[in-house]
Structure 1
């Protein structure tokens, strides 16, 4: 018997796709473009284990196949899946294998199904490793470490039989009132692009395909309102919001997810300019476009007809739906002439291509010999990310690091001091009792037997009830230092109400216990009233106070009336985050996190992102327009001096812009320095659009021993100097720029670089020919270790 060409693993993928596509009926093709079923409806627990449900069998039979199955192993309050009825690691692998066997053995062509799982910060499954949230990963400024952590989490996902990870990466925090800020790597396109590239590389290392969320511009939502309108122009889209997607596509992402927001009057899932003209025609992307959950059905407000809604999305460039009913009617759309069968075939071909590339026809189930529990170092890597993300925002009086020998009693206070759910962020599965380390537990373990650690919550996470404040104040007054753990929480609970797509339902207030997460947007970025009252009362005791912020967004930090000796942001550091925080507090690890976002003083001054257009605005009359802490900021337990940047050439041409930028960095303190040297580009003249204040274009991490010095070296090339031209494509434009280096976006020194038109022959120049600080005279050096003065 002759084996069909599509069954031949030695045949080229394109030929296998062509052969299989030619054998398919129209309903079979439509079936490959749908993932309508929730994965947790595909199985049920029985006395003897788990079995596939009749609903799953009927779904497969309806289209004689299944394109993709979402969330087979997802567990959380929205799905309603927990340890009583869900899939642990071993049962998950077995059930995934059973799903594939049924689909392959009970369909005419035996096409395996793509198993799609959420991996927002670790695999969202029972016993899945939880990593710190993306905002914490961005605070590490360490793509290599993050890639390792993602590879470990992805290997865990693959060992359970899944093929595709859905990961938020493309959104930017342009308004921190947005509840999904924790899912972003930060406010900056370059930092997000570096972290997105690392994410894709790490997942591919584990054999997992990545679909990047959300394409595009969802972080520009007006007023920080989830799934709301955006007011983006095409230039802003290309300059700011497409950089991470470009990096992810270049790194080999398998797909992108079309976002809920609209761009230029059309939702992204129906936006042909985004999904076809930019993504496929301009970038050459040949992967999948997946709709966000129920996004195609939302098009009924435009079309009034589910068949037309399906045709609109397919014609725009959407290949695979998510939970929609409309996309199941694409056969009708072809019959009515609303979309061609050729367009349908192109989408099916992309789905099949991914299945062949992933080797599903040869190995549809979990890889042979894979450990169902994933790699042993996944949790350890997550803890390393947490440790690297802790950011020292303010430090006065030398309280940190805490000296064990000088301490008799530490008061660990606040609503986030001893709450594991508050540390792990949105999109997480239930955790087994006893797993993880809270901040209180971490401090107790790190303090040692000679130090008494007392605790009191002081107040609830939300609300204005101050009845518990006095007991916390008493504990603080009787202690040598008070560690006040404040912030927010994205922890979902059983009584949280959810939208059809899984977002938390909000009305006049946030759901119980939630101050962040999908659907939980804030109008006011201040900490809740009771937390502010607790902070003021504890600070008034005179006991040195260290504030630790466990948070999924940068909360506004106004000037405080009472003294606070240190402020750290731990973001949502994951299950072991308490140990990471404690190690930094006691100096067992250096605080090496740097802000991936600007920290505002109040919501009234938004936006405060550092890279706005440079119109030289002078500020508000009633308060500063600048952030409380700038993008890139982060203090150390030592003092570090940054010299001026030195360029190997002071003049280049646009077609040959390569040069080297060096900056000397010296550790003048008594402790090791973990320093992140940042490179920014600021356009002085020339270009085709109004310039931004400055734009991050590089960073180098240095470890410098006490008293030692090191050079941060930046290889400057076309990618470093490129800007978006009139045609909305990246190009190096003639003009004058300044290459700025320093420890943060508000503390830089500059060297002038002239970029001539292509073909001109500038003087070759030497390092001493470059002109540092050509237009302004800053302080002689930037010294990290204390707050700079601000205007």
Structure 2
């Protein structure tokens, strides 16, 4: 009887404890996230908090392809680890493992905190069997953010079916050095294009219940010498306006919950220990609410690579106090408990980091997240709709660089045979961060042409050479094939690795950088040999980056670039060559003439392409570059179509704008050719006079539209005036008043219409964050009026000094002298009224300033 009573009491205690746990605030989905986070954090031990900041590798807890629960228990010691990855697992195996680990964390740990299950999915999940979409460089050349959204929406569905809740993408680095192997992972060289693609991709993930992680935070896309992990040398202004503009935009507009820090350094400080980057900018200025995650092993690199930390404990302190919340693939954060207990680290930094991780988990619904069921796997992963989307993206990404005498599309009624030649003619090239390099998982050009026209004419194939060696033994066969064919398609380019699987013969991708940008191996020699036969030649560059192809441009009539196009690339390319698809891709990178012409991005400063403007040639030396022009071989935005587009007119909603306005540009375009076509009107802006040197042009708007043959379409492109901001001499982000030239056209070097608009004086104010607004209001409201003498110069928009301009404050009135100078007594809270016979009257708040230089606008 006593035993029965004892057991009953134990059962009652257990039930009471279980009821109490289920009624913890953090388990109540109806409460605000902040309340749930603080409740859970208050219940966690120091060990449990640190575990949330750490990462499990699947291989360390598996045996014979399955979860070994004893290994898991031994590794985590009963704590809820924050993250787990299984990047090399097959898809269904990944699902099984993630479900088992998720279930263990929820049911067999004290607090039941779910884990972020994560993987890579740059252009498709990296687990075997997933849809392989075109690489990021290809998506960028579509100039179609809608496709970017659709792509990550599809990827998110496949990730969910595989048990994944956190993706380690997208890459929103702005790439400015083409030698770097990771060019292919980036959307392009322009921060506006990259921002629009990044916002769309992040929203695609979030709308489908997968958390994206934007990367790689810090200046990353122009490493010294083009070498991966090398430092980036640029000033603060370029850092903010080029390399970090994408992160600022995506954080503010799309609101991701995760950011990955980069391996490298800026301004001699590793990005993974930069308080300026991860706290002052990311959180204090941009109001990022999520967590920062290290790149693989990046914290340990502070010790053995950057040499800024004496040991792993010091590396952990540097990273955590700078704002890096979670560690991947390293053990530096294993030191945190002892550092706290020894009084070397304030526990507040751990609480702060864990709160951010938990905030992301609650906001992504992980505590209520139902485990995916295996029965749904085959319905979602590699679904027909996803394969069709992959082909559509591949089609829209193809860029027609050159089409002399309309050699394309191929006139099938005039051809009896086609030679298909080159190392990439019968080899899929998916790009880095994929699960395969095998032809069986995609479609090559040769296979696609056999399917499309193999029964109508003869296809003659020869590889000719490989991608990397100087072996010319295949040239004879290739030349013989060319001679007996009516037209020759030569497919050259590069190859990338497949993640953690096969790195052989890679000439592109992470860790595979180039010191020379000519075609590798003897590929250009192969093109020359085929050209020497006298047969018409079309060159296809199937690659992960632009390469220097000056000879090819000068000698080959038809040139096409197909960035790594995913599993449907061969079919998309075949249909484009045959005229079933009208090319609509635009260059997201400028092509260099040679490696010596780097950098070759389009948005250069007005001083940066030479002063003398008298380029030479081999036969006639000149100035600037003695033997060549500094211009790009093909410029950003370039891309031909099988049809012709006429730009009829461009109008703006008005001519004078205030800081808070939106510029509406209406462009009339007529399709005057014989094909329906997709066109991308592009609007570039040039700040005509500015306090700091600004680029000759910057992309600020574009739209991809279908215009049928014979149709005229009105395209409206909206540009917030805030997009015209610069970082002035005081490093404040402002829109300066004055004139701005809108350049409307088909490419950065094909401007069809120019129009000037003006921005008024109100634009001197910050483009503010919420905190800046609060500070601004507070400082103005509390300002005490004191006497001041205000001095300055007055100029017009061309910076000419203006005499005889009247400056008034109350009863005081002065006129500028012959040097455009003025001096007037006023109160610190007064407003200057500035007027001239040919200029608009300006009202300028003094706000305590003693020097105010003024720019007048014409009436």
Cα separation, partners in 2 of 1:701 and 1:495, compared to 1, 3 Å: closer
CA deviations over 1:340-362 (Å, ceiling 9, x no partner) = 11111010011111122222222
CA deviations over 1:433-484 (Å, ceiling 9, x no partner) = 7332111111222224111111110001112111101101111111111111
Q: Distance in 1 between matches of 2:116 and 2:314?
A: 26
State the partner residue of 2:820.
Answer: none
The 5 A counterparts of 1:443-454 are 443-454=449-460
State the partner residue of 1:486.
Answer: 492
CA deviations over 1:129-185 (Å, ceiling 9, x no partner) = 111111000000000012101100111001211110011422122011000000000
State the partner residue of 1:465.
Answer: 471
CA deviations over 1:497-550 (Å, ceiling 9, x no partner) = xxxxxxxxxxxxxx6411101000000000024101100000111111111111
Which of 65, 80, 88 is equivalent to 2:80? 65
Do residues 271 (structure 1) and 287 (structure 2) align?
no
Q: Distance in 2 between matches of 1:347 and 1:723?
A: 33
Q: Distance in 1 between matches of 2:197 and 2:341?
A: 44
State the Cα distance separating 1:116 from its structure 2 match. Answer: 1.0
State the partner residue of 1:55.
Answer: 71
Classify the secondary structure of the residue corresponding to 1:535. helix
State the partner residue of 1:210.
Answer: 212
Q: Distance in 2 between matches of 1:533 and 1:732?
A: 51
State the partner residue of 2:105.
Answer: 103
Cα separation, partners in 2 of 1:459 and 1:518, compared to 1, 3 Å: same
State the partner residue of 2:594.
Answer: 602
State the partner residue of 1:409.
Answer: 417
Which of 35, 43, 49 is equivalent to 2:62? 43
Which of 622, 631, 639 is equivalent to 2:644? 639
State the partner residue of 1:19.
Answer: 39
State the partner residue of 2:130.
Answer: 128
State the Cα distance separating 1:431 from its structure 2 match. Answer: 6.4
State the partner residue of 1:752.
Answer: 756
State the Cα distance separating 1:737 from its structure 2 match. Answer: 1.1
Classify the secondary structure of the residue corresponding to 1:277. helix
Q: Distance in 2 between matches of 1:358 and 1:368?
A: 22
Between 561-570 and 296-305, the greater mean CA deviation after superposition: 561-570
Q: Distance in 2 between matches of 1:175 and 1:129?
A: 30
Q: Distance in 1 between matches of 2:72 and 2:482?
A: 57
Q: Is residue 430–residue 437 contact of structure 2 (8 Å, CA) maintained in 1?
A: no
Which of 660, 663, 667 is equivalent to 2:667? 663
State the partner residue of 2:337.
Answer: 331
Q: Distance in 2 between matches of 1:190 and 1:102?
A: 44
Alignment gaps of 5+ in structure 1: 76-85, 497-510, 765-791
State the partner residue of 1:260.
Answer: 263
State the Cα distance separating 1:666 from its structure 2 match. Answer: 1.8
Q: Distance in 1 between matches of 2:501 and 2:377?
A: 35
Q: Distance in 2 between matches of 1:298 and 1:561?
A: 43
Classify the secondary structure of the residue corresponding to 1:231. coil
Cα separation, partners in 2 of 1:561 and 1:740, compared to 1, 3 Å: closer
CA deviations over 1:181-232 (Å, ceiling 9, x no partner) = 0000000000000000010011112110011110021102112111001112
State the Cα distance separating 1:702 from its structure 2 match. Answer: 2.3
Cα separation, partners in 2 of 1:657 and 1:6, compared to 1, 3 Å: closer
State the partner residue of 2:191.
Answer: 189
Q: Is residue 117–residue 165 contact of structure 2 (8 Å, CA) maintained in 1?
A: yes
State the Cα distance separating 1:662 from its structure 2 match. Answer: 2.2
CA deviations over 1:28-81 (Å, ceiling 9, x no partner) = 11110011x3223333336xxx333643332222x62211112x2x22xxxxxx
Alignment gaps of 5+ in structure 2: 1-18, 614-623, 764-832, 842-859
Between 280-289 and 297-306, the greater mean CA deviation after superposition: 297-306
Q: Distance in 1 between matches of 2:530 and 2:512?
A: 29
Q: Distance in 2 between matches of 1:491 and 1:87?
A: 18
Select the structure of larger CA radius of gyration: 2
Classify the secondary structure of the residue corresponding to 1:218. coil
Q: Is residue 115–residue 161 contact of structure 1 (8 Å, CA) maintained in 2?
A: yes
Q: Distance in 1 between matches of 2:141 and 2:223?
A: 23
Q: Distance in 1 between matches of 2:647 and 2:343?
A: 65
State the Cα distance separating 1:673 from its structure 2 match. Answer: 2.4
State the partner residue of 2:368.
Answer: 362
State the Cα distance separating 1:333 from its structure 2 match. Answer: 2.2
Classify the secondary structure of the residue corresponding to 1:437. coil
Q: Distance in 1 between matches of 2:455 and 2:524?
A: 32
Classify the secondary structure of the residue corresponding to 1:550. strand
State the partner residue of 1:523.
Answer: 515
State the partner residue of 1:382.
Answer: 390
State the Cα distance separating 1:401 from its structure 2 match. Answer: 0.5
Give the count of matched residue pairs: 728
Classify the secondary structure of the residue corresponding to 2:367. coil
Q: Distance in 2 between matches of 1:494 and 1:215?
A: 23
Cα separation, partners in 2 of 1:56 and 1:674, compared to 1, 3 Å: same
Q: Is residue 169–residue 192 contact of structure 1 (8 Å, CA) maintained in 2?
A: no
Q: Is residue 725–residue 736 contact of structure 2 (8 Å, CA) maintained in 1?
A: yes
Q: Distance in 1 between matches of 2:364 and 2:705?
A: 38
Q: Distance in 2 between matches of 1:338 and 1:236?
A: 36
Classify the secondary structure of the residue corresponding to 1:209. coil
Classify the secondary structure of the residue corresponding to 1:397. helix
State the Cα distance separating 1:647 from its structure 2 match. Answer: 2.6
Q: Distance in 1 between matches of 2:444 and 2:559?
A: 18
Q: Is residue 180–residue 227 contact of structure 2 (8 Å, CA) maintained in 1?
A: yes
State the Cα distance separating 1:236 from its structure 2 match. Answer: 0.4
Q: Distance in 2 between matches of 1:593 and 1:176?
A: 19
Q: Is residue 644–residue 750 contact of structure 1 (8 Å, CA) maintained in 2?
A: no
Do residues 683 (structure 1) and 687 (structure 2) align?
yes
Between 406-415 and 181-190, the greater mean CA deviation after superposition: 406-415
Q: Is residue 678–residue 744 contact of structure 1 (8 Å, CA) maintained in 2?
A: yes
State the Cα distance separating 1:646 from its structure 2 match. Answer: 2.4
TM-score (norm 1): 0.89
